[in-house]
Amino acid sequence: MKQVRPKKNLGQHFLTDLNIARRIADTVDACPEIPVLEVGPGMGVLTQYLMEKPRPVKVVEIDTESVEYLHANFPRLRDNIIGEDFLRMDLNTLFEGRQFVLTGNYPYDISSQIFFKMLDNKDLIPCCTGMIQREVALRMASAPGCKAYGILSVLTQAWYDVEYLFTVDENVFNPPPKVKSAVIRMTRNNVTDLGCDERLFKRVVKTVFNQRRKMLRVSLRQIFLAGTVAPDFFEHEIMTLRPEQLSVERFVELTNLVAGRLEERHVTE
Protein backbone atom coordinates (compact mmCIF):
# COMPACT_ATOMS: atom_id res chain seq x y z
CA MET A 1 0.00 0.00 0.00
CA LYS A 2 1.26 3.49 -0.81
CA GLN A 3 2.30 5.82 1.97
CA VAL A 4 -0.23 8.06 3.68
CA ARG A 5 -0.44 11.65 2.51
CA PRO A 6 0.00 14.07 5.45
CA LYS A 7 -3.17 16.11 5.95
CA LYS A 8 -2.88 19.71 7.03
CA ASN A 9 -6.37 19.79 8.56
CA LEU A 10 -5.35 16.99 10.95
CA GLY A 11 -2.05 18.62 11.84
CA GLN A 12 -0.11 15.60 10.54
CA HIS A 13 3.69 15.81 10.52
CA PHE A 14 5.03 12.28 10.13
CA LEU A 15 8.27 11.51 11.93
CA THR A 16 10.89 10.05 9.57
CA ASP A 17 13.88 9.60 11.91
CA LEU A 18 13.81 6.01 13.24
CA ASN A 19 16.36 6.72 15.97
CA ILE A 20 14.13 9.42 17.46
CA ALA A 21 11.11 7.14 17.12
CA ARG A 22 12.89 4.47 19.16
CA ARG A 23 13.92 7.03 21.79
CA ILE A 24 10.30 8.16 22.15
CA ALA A 25 9.13 4.56 22.44
CA ASP A 26 11.64 3.97 25.23
CA THR A 27 10.15 6.80 27.30
CA VAL A 28 7.23 4.51 28.25
CA ASP A 29 9.65 2.25 30.16
CA ALA A 30 9.28 4.60 33.13
CA CYS A 31 5.97 2.81 33.79
CA PRO A 32 6.72 -0.85 33.00
CA GLU A 33 4.26 -3.71 32.60
CA ILE A 34 1.03 -1.75 32.11
CA PRO A 35 -0.54 -1.39 28.61
CA VAL A 36 0.25 1.44 26.19
CA LEU A 37 -2.12 3.60 24.16
CA GLU A 38 -0.60 5.53 21.26
CA VAL A 39 -2.51 8.54 19.92
CA GLY A 40 -2.14 9.40 16.23
CA PRO A 41 0.16 6.61 15.02
CA GLY A 42 -0.01 7.68 11.36
CA MET A 43 2.08 5.13 9.47
CA GLY A 44 3.37 3.44 12.62
CA VAL A 45 6.93 4.76 12.84
CA LEU A 46 6.62 4.90 16.64
CA THR A 47 4.21 1.97 16.82
CA GLN A 48 6.76 -0.52 15.48
CA TYR A 49 9.02 0.08 18.49
CA LEU A 50 6.19 0.11 21.01
CA MET A 51 5.17 -3.32 19.73
CA GLU A 52 8.59 -4.65 20.74
CA LYS A 53 7.71 -3.98 24.37
CA PRO A 54 6.39 -6.97 26.37
CA ARG A 55 3.01 -5.40 27.01
CA PRO A 56 -0.34 -4.78 25.26
CA VAL A 57 -0.38 -1.90 22.76
CA LYS A 58 -3.40 -0.18 21.26
CA VAL A 59 -3.45 2.75 18.86
CA VAL A 60 -6.19 5.30 18.17
CA GLU A 61 -6.23 7.11 14.84
CA ILE A 62 -8.90 9.44 13.44
CA ASP A 63 -7.52 9.44 9.86
CA THR A 64 -9.18 6.66 7.84
CA GLU A 65 -6.29 6.48 5.35
CA SER A 66 -3.84 5.92 8.20
CA VAL A 67 -6.13 3.26 9.70
CA GLU A 68 -6.13 1.38 6.38
CA TYR A 69 -2.34 1.64 6.20
CA LEU A 70 -1.94 0.28 9.73
CA HIS A 71 -4.26 -2.65 9.02
CA ALA A 72 -2.27 -3.51 5.90
CA ASN A 73 1.19 -3.17 7.44
CA PHE A 74 0.68 -4.21 11.07
CA PRO A 75 -1.48 -7.36 10.90
CA ARG A 76 -0.48 -8.37 14.44
CA LEU A 77 -1.98 -5.11 15.70
CA ARG A 78 -5.19 -5.43 13.70
CA ASP A 79 -7.59 -5.99 16.63
CA ASN A 80 -6.03 -3.13 18.54
CA ILE A 81 -6.35 -0.38 15.93
CA ILE A 82 -9.11 2.01 16.97
CA GLY A 83 -10.42 4.33 14.27
CA GLU A 84 -11.90 7.00 16.53
CA ASP A 85 -11.38 10.51 17.87
CA PHE A 86 -9.31 10.22 21.05
CA LEU A 87 -10.87 13.35 22.51
CA ARG A 88 -14.34 11.76 22.38
CA MET A 89 -13.40 8.33 23.71
CA ASP A 90 -14.36 6.81 27.05
CA LEU A 91 -10.91 5.80 28.26
CA ASN A 92 -12.31 3.46 30.91
CA THR A 93 -13.29 0.99 28.18
CA LEU A 94 -9.85 0.72 26.54
CA PHE A 95 -8.17 -1.83 28.78
CA GLU A 96 -11.19 -2.91 30.86
CA GLY A 97 -10.58 -0.15 33.38
CA ARG A 98 -6.87 -0.90 33.80
CA GLN A 99 -4.27 1.84 33.98
CA PHE A 100 -2.20 2.54 30.86
CA VAL A 101 0.61 4.72 29.51
CA LEU A 102 -0.44 7.41 27.04
CA THR A 103 2.05 8.25 24.30
CA GLY A 104 2.29 9.52 20.74
CA ASN A 105 3.56 12.07 18.27
CA TYR A 106 0.68 14.35 19.14
CA PRO A 107 -0.96 16.69 16.60
CA TYR A 108 0.10 20.22 17.52
CA ASP A 109 -3.34 21.75 17.22
CA ILE A 110 -4.96 19.48 19.84
CA SER A 111 -2.04 18.68 22.15
CA SER A 112 -3.37 20.87 24.98
CA GLN A 113 -6.80 19.23 24.67
CA ILE A 114 -5.15 15.81 24.87
CA PHE A 115 -3.44 16.77 28.12
CA PHE A 116 -6.61 18.21 29.62
CA LYS A 117 -8.27 14.87 28.86
CA MET A 118 -5.31 13.15 30.52
CA LEU A 119 -5.91 15.27 33.63
CA ASP A 120 -9.59 14.32 33.61
CA ASN A 121 -8.47 10.67 33.59
CA LYS A 122 -5.40 11.00 35.83
CA ASP A 123 -6.29 7.91 37.88
CA LEU A 124 -6.16 5.84 34.67
CA ILE A 125 -2.95 7.38 33.31
CA PRO A 126 0.04 7.15 35.69
CA CYS A 127 2.44 8.08 32.89
CA CYS A 128 2.15 10.14 29.71
CA THR A 129 4.98 10.63 27.24
CA GLY A 130 5.38 11.84 23.69
CA MET A 131 6.33 14.57 21.27
CA ILE A 132 4.66 17.97 21.07
CA GLN A 133 5.40 21.50 19.97
CA ARG A 134 8.45 22.75 21.90
CA GLU A 135 6.61 25.84 23.10
CA VAL A 136 3.90 23.71 24.73
CA ALA A 137 6.50 21.40 26.29
CA LEU A 138 8.29 24.39 27.81
CA ARG A 139 5.00 25.65 29.26
CA MET A 140 4.20 22.30 30.82
CA ALA A 141 7.63 21.93 32.42
CA SER A 142 8.06 25.58 33.38
CA ALA A 143 8.64 26.61 37.01
CA PRO A 144 6.95 29.55 38.78
CA GLY A 145 8.50 32.88 37.88
CA CYS A 146 9.19 31.92 34.27
CA LYS A 147 7.50 33.59 31.32
CA ALA A 148 6.23 30.25 30.00
CA TYR A 149 4.54 29.35 33.31
CA GLY A 150 0.77 29.33 32.88
CA ILE A 151 -2.52 27.45 33.11
CA LEU A 152 -1.22 24.20 31.63
CA SER A 153 1.87 24.34 33.87
CA VAL A 154 -0.12 24.61 37.10
CA LEU A 155 -2.90 22.17 36.26
CA THR A 156 -0.44 19.53 35.04
CA GLN A 157 2.15 19.95 37.81
CA ALA A 158 -0.58 19.66 40.44
CA TRP A 159 -0.82 15.95 39.57
CA TYR A 160 2.28 15.04 37.54
CA ASP A 161 6.05 15.43 37.66
CA VAL A 162 6.97 16.86 34.26
CA GLU A 163 10.30 16.14 32.53
CA TYR A 164 11.46 17.94 29.39
CA LEU A 165 13.54 15.16 27.80
CA PHE A 166 14.96 16.46 24.51
CA THR A 167 14.38 18.81 21.59
CA VAL A 168 13.64 17.59 18.05
CA ASP A 169 14.52 19.62 14.94
CA GLU A 170 12.09 20.37 12.13
CA ASN A 171 13.97 18.43 9.43
CA VAL A 172 13.02 14.95 10.71
CA PHE A 173 9.36 15.31 9.73
CA ASN A 174 7.30 15.07 6.56
CA PRO A 175 6.27 17.79 6.05
CA PRO A 176 8.65 19.78 8.28
CA PRO A 177 6.72 21.89 10.82
CA LYS A 178 7.53 25.57 11.19
CA VAL A 179 8.58 25.12 14.81
CA LYS A 180 10.78 22.80 16.85
CA SER A 181 9.33 19.88 18.75
CA ALA A 182 10.16 18.34 22.11
CA VAL A 183 9.70 15.03 23.89
CA ILE A 184 8.33 15.10 27.42
CA ARG A 185 7.36 12.62 30.11
CA MET A 186 4.78 13.16 32.85
CA THR A 187 4.63 10.77 35.79
CA ARG A 188 1.92 10.87 38.44
CA ASN A 189 3.13 12.34 41.70
CA ASN A 190 1.99 11.24 45.15
CA VAL A 191 -0.87 13.74 45.38
CA THR A 192 -4.27 12.09 45.85
CA ASP A 193 -6.08 15.16 47.18
CA LEU A 194 -5.14 18.75 46.37
CA GLY A 195 -6.43 19.97 49.70
CA CYS A 196 -8.99 22.25 48.07
CA ASP A 197 -12.04 22.14 45.81
CA GLU A 198 -10.60 20.86 42.52
CA ARG A 199 -13.20 22.53 40.30
CA LEU A 200 -12.68 25.88 42.02
CA PHE A 201 -8.90 25.38 41.76
CA LYS A 202 -9.19 25.11 37.97
CA ARG A 203 -11.47 28.14 37.85
CA VAL A 204 -9.12 30.26 39.95
CA VAL A 205 -6.06 29.26 37.88
CA LYS A 206 -7.78 30.00 34.57
CA THR A 207 -9.28 33.27 35.83
CA VAL A 208 -6.03 34.82 37.05
CA PHE A 209 -3.90 33.68 34.11
CA ASN A 210 -6.41 35.21 31.71
CA GLN A 211 -5.17 38.50 33.17
CA ARG A 212 -1.64 37.36 33.91
CA ARG A 213 -0.15 40.87 34.01
CA LYS A 214 -2.51 42.03 36.75
CA MET A 215 -2.22 41.48 40.49
CA LEU A 216 -4.49 38.81 41.92
CA ARG A 217 -6.57 41.40 43.76
CA VAL A 218 -7.63 42.74 40.37
CA SER A 219 -8.13 39.54 38.36
CA LEU A 220 -9.94 37.67 41.14
CA ARG A 221 -12.73 40.22 41.41
CA GLN A 222 -14.57 38.68 38.47
CA ILE A 223 -15.19 35.51 40.50
CA PHE A 224 -17.34 37.53 42.91
CA LEU A 225 -20.43 39.59 42.21
CA ALA A 226 -19.77 43.32 42.43
CA GLY A 227 -19.98 44.62 45.96
CA THR A 228 -20.36 41.19 47.60
CA VAL A 229 -16.85 40.92 49.02
CA ALA A 230 -15.50 43.09 51.80
CA PRO A 231 -12.42 45.12 50.75
CA ASP A 232 -10.30 43.48 53.46
CA PHE A 233 -10.33 40.21 51.50
CA PHE A 234 -8.11 41.79 48.87
CA GLU A 235 -5.65 43.05 51.48
CA HIS A 236 -4.18 39.59 52.06
CA GLU A 237 -0.47 39.59 51.12
CA ILE A 238 -0.98 37.02 48.37
CA MET A 239 -3.24 39.47 46.52
CA THR A 240 -0.28 41.68 45.57
CA LEU A 241 1.28 38.86 43.55
CA ARG A 242 0.81 38.01 39.89
CA PRO A 243 -0.19 34.48 38.84
CA GLU A 244 3.21 33.43 37.48
CA GLN A 245 4.67 33.98 40.97
CA LEU A 246 2.50 31.28 42.59
CA SER A 247 3.53 27.65 43.00
CA VAL A 248 0.91 24.90 42.90
CA GLU A 249 0.85 24.94 46.72
CA ARG A 250 0.16 28.67 46.79
CA PHE A 251 -2.62 28.24 44.22
CA VAL A 252 -4.16 25.71 46.62
CA GLU A 253 -3.86 28.31 49.40
CA LEU A 254 -5.47 30.92 47.15
CA THR A 255 -8.30 28.59 46.20
CA ASN A 256 -9.09 27.93 49.84
CA LEU A 257 -9.14 31.68 50.54
CA VAL A 258 -11.61 32.18 47.70
CA ALA A 259 -13.69 29.19 48.81
CA GLY A 260 -13.88 30.54 52.34
CA ARG A 261 -15.11 33.92 51.17
CA LEU A 262 -17.62 32.36 48.77
CA GLU A 263 -18.92 30.23 51.65
CA GLU A 264 -19.22 33.28 53.91
CA ARG A 265 -21.20 35.08 51.24
CA HIS A 266 -23.48 32.08 50.78
CA VAL A 267 -24.17 31.86 54.55
CA THR A 268 -25.04 35.56 54.82
CA GLU A 269 -27.39 35.55 51.81
Per CATH, which fold does 8-188 belong to? Rossmann fold (3.40.50)
Question: Per residue of the chain (269 residues), what is the pLDDT tens digit?
Answer: 578 888 888 877 899 999 999 999 999 999 999 999 999 999 999 999 999 999 999 999 999 999 999 999 999 999 999 999 999 999 999 999 999 999 999 998 899 999 999 999 999 999 999 999 999 999 999 999 999 999 999 999 999 999 999 999 999 999 899 999 999 999 999 999 999 999 999 999 999 999 999 999 999 988 886 556 777 888 889 999 999 999 999 999 999 999 988 877 554 44
Under 8 Å CB-to-CB from 263, ≥6 apart: which residues? Answer: none
The CATH code of domain 198-268 reads: 1.10.8
| pTM over the 0.85 mark | yes
The string of DSSP codes covering the chain is -PPPPP-GGGT--EE--HHHHHHHHHGGGGS-SS-EEEE--TTTTTHHHHTTSSS-EEEE---HHHHHHHHHH-GGGGGGEE-S-GGG--GGGTTTT---EEEEB--GGGHHHHHHHHHHTTTT-SEEEEEEEHHHHHHHHPPTTSTT-SHHHHHHHTTEEEEEEEEE-GGGEESPPSS-EEEEEEEE-S-S--SS-HHHHHHHHHHHHTTTTS-HHHHGGGGS-TT-S-GGGGGSGGGGS-GGG--HHHHHHHHHHHHHHHHHHHHH-
**Domain residue ranges in the chain:** 8-188, 198-268
CA distance 197 to 200: 5
